[in-house]
Structure 1
Amino acid sequence: MDKKMKVKKYITYEEPLKGESFTLEQMQEVYEVRVDKKEYPEFSIWLHDMIRSGVFEEVVNE
């Protein structure tokens, strides 16, 4: 039996990343490059806020 691995990704409908999907590792890259560290000093705080506010949505790909 072929078992496919489920992969959690994050998507957004907001520019400039609209329509793209990201793995957790890619989300860390987005954080490093695009996020004001004074507003969000830690990745986990930023990610939680982005999901809570609806800027990013978690999806599971099979």
Structure 2
Amino acid sequence: MTKNITIKSAKPCYDHIGGKLGEMLLKMFIDEDWLQKTDPTDKHFFITEKGQTEFTKLGLDLSQITS
């Protein structure tokens, strides 16, 4: 007996966007210089000045983001 496995391109999560959509958005944010890392080995990102401008244009309230 075989199982049919459906791969989802987006996965709902409580505190982030998961799945392929999340991966694609993160790649775009990095490629467009909206997000950067201070240390390549660190898992945390910071929002660049360009990112602050662009996220604000999209209607995000960055004052709600905590470090």
TM-score by length of 1: 0.31
Which of 1 and 2 has higher RCO (CA within 8 Å, sep 6+)? 1
Larger radius of gyration: 2
Q: Which has the higher strand share?
A: 1
TM-score by length of 2: 0.29
